[in-house]
Structure 1
Amino acid sequence: MAEIKTLLFATDFSKGSARACDLARSLADTCGASLTLLHVINEFSDRNARKVSAEVYEKLAAEIEKHAVEDMQEFRDRYFKDMPVTTAIAVGKSHEEIIRQAKKIGADLILMGTQGRAGIEKMLMGSTAERVVRSSPIPVLTVRE
């Protein structure tokens, strides 16, 4: 069995992520692994976003990042207060950034919560977890909400 020394826990601060916290803590403790919490801010891809001035766009992006930092601190304090963790916030396409960050830190495992989408919603929106599972060269463990 492969040794887990570095664990990346990707979170969107949802119920699914909160539920996966116990497993992330347990795995990190049991394996003696370092744990990194990652949140990805999705880039604006809507063509209308390009129509706003650069100043407005930058202010909005800064505000979103500020809230993400606050949410990450709250998430860390709530679920990982008594253990050493590293936090990271990235901007981009969630599935691509999760894999990129996992490679960057040399993660042996990616852990993430997943929501149980079905039907047309899944077909139209897809799933970040599914995209990570399909694309990642690093093993991925998903925890269903």
Structure 2
Amino acid sequence: MEDKQKKAKNEAIQREILAGRKFSLAEAIGREGGDFLKGESPVPKLVQATTEINTFIAINLQDSSGALQAVLQTWISTDEAEVSKNLDSPLQALKQMLDKILDNSELLYELVRQVDFQWGKMYDERPYFQSPGQPPHPDDEYTHESVEEKLKSFRNKL
């Protein structure tokens, strides 16, 4: 009985407040839409999943210079289709992407090229680009082999 009285009192107060106002469509939409996101996060699921993956990369990928982390996070952010397939388990999307990179040497070489480029941009130095089948430059931090090993070790943490 007490709940009915509170509800009636609240409705009376609301009617009194609205009595002096002119009707506007925007206000009506605002009142009706007030419960639209009730219980849901206003942040889209895709953004939540991408953020979870990028945070996992930042915490778990061993990368002293940070170029590999930056490029991998960019690849995740731009591959919305893969992440969208795994909104409820975002790290599964990351595992699938790592498997795809590690199973495709051309994709791995492209990743390494972008990492080298990112490294050069970050440190304002000329990057060392390793060509497929060629030995790496002695000062190259990101060789095909070193990036592959880092990615394999990182994938094992998933």
What's the TM-score bracket when you normalise by the shorter of the two chains?
under 0.3
Greater percentage in strand: 1
Compare relative contact order (CA 8 Å, sep 6+) and give the higher one, 1 or 2: 1
Question: Which has the greater radius of gyration?
Answer: 2
Greater fraction helix: 2
